[in-house]
């Protein structure tokens, strides 16, 4: 495995081997980002390839004093947003000035669903909610940064995050209840295996 600095230098010189190595090393990480925004894998692959094209085209602007992974993540997220915008799928909820309490709900519901189930539930969110949720929760951007990226107000960002969390909370609780009931219906020896 080549050193990332050497790979980046090769990419700056448009060396095909360096581009392939960069793609290979960061494919999984970049795909995970794209899948969070896409409705299906084919759409995520399209976002991913567009993102890598932007990376190869603009790699000379990468500031080597900063982590490369963060730079790549931002490009992938922006590419996904551009893709959704082009398809006119980003319709944001109204602006709010305060975020309402979601309530406590079922505290251990998250323990009853798998990571894959949780990611699937996030993917089922409406595009605008999913985008703000991913930018805030998964990518770590603040509401003002999200507002600037998406061309919306900070209050609209907060509103969309609130609504995304409310929908997810309901879906998580339903999935957890389903998983609990499914295990109750299984013969004891099968339920034991599923719990392990």
We find that the CATH architecture of domain 4-86 is Orthogonal Bundle (1.10)
Q: How many CA atoms lie within 13 A of 114 on its CB side?
A: 7
Domain assignments of the chain as residue spans, ordered by start:
4-86, 109-195
82 vs 47, 129, 181, CA distance in Å?
9, 15, 41
Average pLDDT over residues 147-172: 89
> pLDDT confidence of 68, banded at 50, 70, 90?
very high
Tokens 């944001």, located at residue: 92
This model's pTM is above 0.85: no
Residue 166 CA to residue 161 CA, distance in Å, equals 9
Tell me what pLDDT residue 104 has: 46
**DSSP sequence for 135-164:** IIIIS---HHHHHHHHT--HHHHHHHHHHH
Residue 36 CA to residue 85 CA, distance in Å, equals 15
CATH code of the domain occupying 109-195 = 1.10.10.10
Torsion of CA 182, 187, 193, 196, to 10 degrees: 60
Average pLDDT over residues 8-13: 95
> pLDDT confidence of 98, banded at 50, 70, 90?
very low
Residue 143 CA to residue 156 CA, distance in Å, equals 9
Tell me what pLDDT residue 84 has: 82
Q: Which residue has the higher pLDDT, 82 or 175?
A: 82
């Amino acid at each position: 495995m080549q050193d990332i600095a050497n790979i980046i230098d090769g990419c700056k010189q448009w060396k095909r081997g360096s581009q392939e190595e960069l793609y290979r090393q960061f494919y999984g990480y970049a795909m995970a980002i794209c899948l969070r925004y896409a409705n299906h894998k084919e759409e995520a692959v399209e976002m991913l390839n567009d993102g890598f094209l932007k990376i190869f085209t603009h790699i000379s602007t990468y500031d080597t004093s900063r982590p490369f992974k963060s730079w790549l993540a931002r490009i992938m997220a922006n590419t996904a947003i551009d893709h959704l915008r082009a398809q006119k799928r980003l319709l944001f909820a109204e602006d709010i000035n305060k975020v309402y309490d979601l309530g406590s709900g079922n505290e251990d519901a998250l323990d009853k669903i798998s990571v894959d189930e949780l990611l699937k539930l996030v993917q089922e969110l409406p595009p605008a909610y999913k985008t703000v949720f991913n930018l805030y929760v998964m990518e770590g951007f603040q509401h003002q940064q999200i507002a600037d990226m998406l061309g919306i107000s900070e209050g609209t960002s907060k509103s969309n995050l609130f609504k995304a969390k409310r929908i997810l909370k309901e879906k998580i609780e339903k999935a957890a209840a389903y998983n609990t009931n499914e295990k109750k219906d299984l013969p004891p020896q099968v339920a034991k295996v599923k719990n392990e």
